[in-house]
């Protein structure tokens, strides 16, 4: 059976460090952006997922592979 190769050497920097939606009225939406940057010397692999509970991912979800200095936002 073949094994998977997992890239190493990446360093994820996520900005902002936290997201506060404040009070959002039912039936309305508030959009916040989050950026993931690879500040490491090698590739960075990961997956963008949502916690449960009334959130929706507008774009950029799923698995990703960032080379050094690449960003996902």
Instruction: Give the contacts of 37 (CB within 8 A, at least 6 positions apart).
Output: 12, 13, 14, 15, 66, 69, 70, 71, 72
Per-residue pLDDT band at 60 (split at 50, 70, 90): confident
pTM: 0.74
pLDDT tens track for 6-51: 556 899 999 999 988 889 898 888 888 899 999 999 999 998 887 7
Helix (H, G, I), strand (E, B) or coil at 45: strand
């Amino acid at each position: 059976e073949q094994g998977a190769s997992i890239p190493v050497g990446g360093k994820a920097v996520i900005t902002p460090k936290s997201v506060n939606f404040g009070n959002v009225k039912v039936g309305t939406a508030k959009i916040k952006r989050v950026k993931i940057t690879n500040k490491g010397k090698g590739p960075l692999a990961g997956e963008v997922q949502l916690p449960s509970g009334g959130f929706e991912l507008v774009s950029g979800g799923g698995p990703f592979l960032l080379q050094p200095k690449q960003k996902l936002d």
